[in-house]
Structure formats: structure tokens, C-alpha cells
């Protein structure tokens, strides 16, 4: 089994109802100064 360094991280997941809402919220969070954003679609 490969060895790796574990780094504790914390996150918030926000569920939205559409791709458009996802885009708008992402852009709003960027304007608020958040820089480490990830987009996930499942």
C-alpha cells in the first residue's frame, strides 16, 4: 500500500438547482474574495 501524507482539510458543499445557479454562485463567491473554489457536477 502506498504511503502518503495526510493533510486535514475542511469544506462546505452547497447544492444548487441548476447549472446556471452554480455559475452565478461561483462568480458571486469569487467576487467576495474566495479563491480556493472547486466546481463539482454529479
| Contacts (Cβ under 8 Å, ≥6 apart) of 30 | 37
With a cut of 80, say whether residue 38 has pLDDT above it.
yes
What pLDDT was estimated at residue 1? 73
Q: What is the pLDDT of residues 3-33, one digit of tens each?
A: 899 999 999 999 999 999 999 999 999 999 9
Neighbours of 17 (CB within 10 A): 7
What pLDDT was estimated at residue 15? 97
Question: Domain boundaries in the chain?
Answer: 15-42
The length of the chain is: 42
User: Could you tell me if 37 and 30 are in contact, meaning their C-beta atoms sit under 8 angstroms apart?
Assistant: yes
Nearest alpha carbon to residue 23 among 39, 35, 8: 39
What pLDDT was estimated at residue 34? 97
What pLDDT was estimated at residue 12? 94
Amino acid at each position: 500500500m502506498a504511503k502518503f501524507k495526510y493533510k486535514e482539510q475542511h469544506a462546505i458543499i452547497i447544492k444548487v438547482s441548476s447549472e446556471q445557479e452554480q455559475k452565478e454562485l461561483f462568480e458571486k463567491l469569487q467576487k467576495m474574495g474566495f479563491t480556493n473554489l472547486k466546481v463539482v457536477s454529479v
